[in-house]
Structure 1
């Protein structure tokens, strides 16, 4: 799989992705004030926390019956409501903008790792995905997960070597700073950030293990990104030690009591068969994707496995396999909101599989 394709130039792909963004915006903004009607109990709690932030009550964790909630999403939502006002649209606009921004990032990621066709196909799949559309209309930190995963993967791809070329290139300190900032801020956004950080660290370790020439050239920059992550996440780590009952790790372990194999099986089956029954996340029972798209995703995964010796394919595999437990091992599996953590990877696998047919 080579960079670029005669059937689609970069200019053509940018035109198509603009069309996709407009379509995605239409699907996500149509009757935004009334669809869905009102707010769920979980959204009402988040709205109250947004109001607390606007009053100056900003914390790493907010106590909750389920253990706690990270506060970064509520800070961002409070900032947005201060600009556009409150009300149904005001509270939902944060998730909407994060969703549209994620689409642009997913296209850029697919284009950077592979070619414009893969990027356009990946963005197109997410643009019309029912679960992604509904999540963009909810007041929930789950809506930030798509952005966090896709942006982190793009930062990894831009800062660390993803090709086998050994020529010396100028390292971009901005990319490494973005990588460290995203990994650090992620702790304050969502519990699944633990898996995202683990995936990033494993990819770096893989490059060091195979003695990649370019990673040795960028070792100091990589250390800078890790140091920046540690500095940003230090308040989170201290709060987790002082208040372990609110930490992400404790909540992930303590609030799961379903059968492990059953949860994994239900989650995998939901991809192409019986989907999430929660109307907040999905049209009840609708699978995440259709069977044909699922087959193309599987094809993309197989291609990545066969070409795992190439860094860009290994990046996709590591970030998918490491974050997969966060998507499958959840209460009331399948949970499409939590499966957002693997949506960018699945979308790019779809693009790779489709591209293989051309």
Structure 2
């Protein structure tokens, strides 16, 4: 084995160990969301196959079907249920390392992988049986394929490799839509970046816009059966009616609720006391970043703003902005799950 692989392998092993240790006991017990995913998975094993599950106020299906497969292999129980996000959490770190190495450099890629391996937010989301925990990997996969399309050497790919990259991009988009509600906003990252390329990097735009739009179109086509099912059975999705209060207020001319939610959601990243108050997902009030990593986070935002004309930096700014839109609307509560597309 080449020594160049050793650092990332050690990071991935550390990430796996931290996510596997005492998995059945920490966090203690099952939250209502975890228990419902367990019920859905066991129902699948009993032959109940749905496009969309009515539990959890409406639940996209991919997590529960994957959990059912794990239970088939390992037996029904909390370990099999939670192991899904352990696997996809570690895979997300690996995929993020691959993309960061291509978009930035090896040092940044290893630093990002190491921080993701040990930081509280990604670690906690990988130890809970919540469908949002699968989102970072599939979002990261979509980003990786997208970057292959945008890259300067895409035109040198063979016809089959180009087709494979576009199909990989579209399948990744479709799978995110089968995981969690926030993905219905997250996909906008890609057309927004096309707009950026059109304005500032016209040659990259001309190279990328057709395959990107083709991939997005195919991705939505693959997700269409689920959305048609939801349209025919609206009772399975009550979550939107529970979360759109601020938007309803905005439509009636009341901007204050949205501004309050947005400010709280932003402070939840760095300011103690403003973090997610929901005990099931977070230590109540704990911000996403503690003091030291908050400084690095803010420094990264500032550096990216100064370097916004470089595509990689503009992309991460757009990614963060689009990824946190759900919590900007709904506030800091449960932002640890709603923001996972930005992880």
Contact kept? 1:95, 1:136, Cα under 8 Å: yes
- Residue from 216, 221, 244 that aligns with 1:231: 221
2:320 corresponds to: 320
Which runs of no fewer than 5 residues in structure 1 stay unpaired? 1-10, 344-358
- Residue from 46, 60, 75 that aligns with 1:85: 75
Q: Secondary structure at the match of 1:62?
A: coil
How many Å separate the matches in 2 of 1:24 and 1:264?
Answer: 32
Compute the displacement of 1:209 (Å): 4.7
Contact kept? 1:305, 1:313, Cα under 8 Å: yes
Which runs of no fewer than 5 residues in structure 2 stay unpaired? 247-256
How many Å separate the matches in 1 of 2:332 and 2:292?
Answer: 26
- RMSD value over aligned CA atoms? 2.5
1:164-186 deviations in Å (ceiling 9; x for gaps): x6895326322221111111122
How many Å separate the matches in 2 of 1:300 and 1:246?
Answer: 40
Contact kept? 2:268, 2:332, Cα under 8 Å: no
Structure 1 segment 165-314 matched on structure 2, within 5 A: 168-170=155-157, 172-173=161-162, 174-210=164-200, 212-244=202-234, 246=236, 251-252=239-240, 254-257=242-245, 259-272=257-270, 273-274=272-273, 275-314=275-314
Structure 1 residues 34 and 265, CA gap change in structure 2 (3 angstroms): same
Contact kept? 1:76, 1:94, Cα under 8 Å: yes
Contact kept? 1:184, 1:229, Cα under 8 Å: yes
1:153 corresponds to: 143
Q: Secondary structure at the match of 2:339?
A: helix
Structure having the higher helix fraction is 2
2:102 corresponds to: 112
Structure 1 residues 166 and 157, CA gap change in structure 2 (3 angstroms): closer
Compute the displacement of 1:155 (Å): 1.9
1:346 corresponds to: none
How many Å separate the matches in 1 of 2:327 and 2:75?
Answer: 33
TM-score, normalised via structure 1 length: 0.83
How many Å separate the matches in 2 of 1:191 and 1:145?
Answer: 10
2:35 corresponds to: 44
Contact kept? 1:320, 1:342, Cα under 8 Å: yes
1:246-284 deviations in Å (ceiling 9; x for gaps): 45xx73454244632232222222222223233332233
Give the aligned length: 327
TM-score, normalised via structure 2 length: 0.86
- Residue from 20, 31, 38 that aligns with 2:11: 20
Structure 1 residues 178 and 36, CA gap change in structure 2 (3 angstroms): same
- Residue from 118, 125, 137 that aligns with 1:135: 125
Compute the displacement of 1:339 (Å): 2.4
1:76 corresponds to: 66
How many Å separate the matches in 1 of 2:50 and 2:320?
Answer: 31
How many Å separate the matches in 2 of 1:27 and 1:326?
Answer: 29
How many Å separate the matches in 2 of 1:236 and 1:34?
Answer: 34
Compute the displacement of 1:99 (Å): 0.7
How many Å separate the matches in 2 of 1:61 and 1:24?
Answer: 31
Higher mean C-alpha displacement, 115-124 vs 252-261: 252-261
Compute the displacement of 1:98 (Å): 0.8
Structure 1 residues 37 and 46, CA gap change in structure 2 (3 angstroms): same
Contact kept? 1:327, 1:340, Cα under 8 Å: no
Structure 1 residues 310 and 252, CA gap change in structure 2 (3 angstroms): farther
